Amino acid sequence: MTSYTICVFTENTIGILNKITTIFTRRRINIESLTVSETERKGISRFTIVIRHESRDAVEKLVRQIRKIIEVLAVFGYLNEDIAYNEIALFKVSTPIGAKPLDIETINKVYKAWVVYWHLTYVIIQKTGTEEEIFEFFDYIKPHEILEFVRSGRVAVSKSPQTLVDYLPEAEWEYYQ
């Protein structure tokens, strides 16, 4: 199974998520993670979807089917080496009075994670990194009781010099404003 990151640029209107996910559902492809936000261009959303699949051919077909959605402006399928990518995770870790204190220096310097909220009996730690880095930290912090753990979807940007303007020229966009 190879990890693929699919970036979809769409008009920012109601129901597009549904139109995209139905294409995955029909082909029985599970979405591992999903992130949506507006791009630097107003009115254009960017979906970052991570899937695992054994067939590159099937992923290419999936990409072409997504491109057929009328509101979709562009779709790109990437392998991990094609992109810079990251996720963010939050850990709520128990710190009861009398328990072994957290090693904040190691957390900061070794794991590049930060305490973002202090409470008398717990802290919330934010860790940014790849899925692997986040789970490395997960294993480190596990001996302290993890009360809650949440991981965001992946955000990814292609390493190629191409920008949004290259496949969606400014002039074209102005025409529709």
Binding site for another protein (CB under 8 A): 10-11, 14-15, 18-19, 22, 26, 57, 60-61, 64-65, 67-68, 70-73, 168, 172-173, 175-176
Determine the longest span between alpha carbons in the chain, in angstroms: 66
Shortest Å, Cβ 48 to another protein:
18
Shortest Å, Cβ 35 to another protein:
20
Shortest Å, Cβ 62 to another protein:
10
Residue 18 or 30: the one with the smaller Cβ distance to another protein is 18
Shortest Å, Cβ 163 to another protein:
17
Residue 58 or 88: the one with the smaller Cβ distance to another protein is 58
How far apart, in Å, are the Cα atoms of 166 and each of 37, 169, 171?
20, 6, 11
Residue 13 or 130: the one with the smaller Cβ distance to another protein is 13
Contact of 51 with 29, CB cutoff 8 Å: yes
Residue 148 or 172: the one with the smaller Cβ distance to another protein is 172
Shortest Å, Cβ 4 to another protein:
17
Residue 50 or 73: the one with the smaller Cβ distance to another protein is 73
How far apart, in Å, are the Cα atoms of 24 and each of 153, 155, 162?
17, 19, 27
**Considering just the CA atoms, what is the radius of gyration of the chain in Å?**
20
Q: From the CB of residue 135, how many other CB atoms can be counted at a distance below 10 Å?
A: 14
Q: For the purposes of burial, counting CB atoms within 10 Å of the CB of 70, is it exposed (0-12), middle (13-18) or buried (19 or more)?
A: exposed
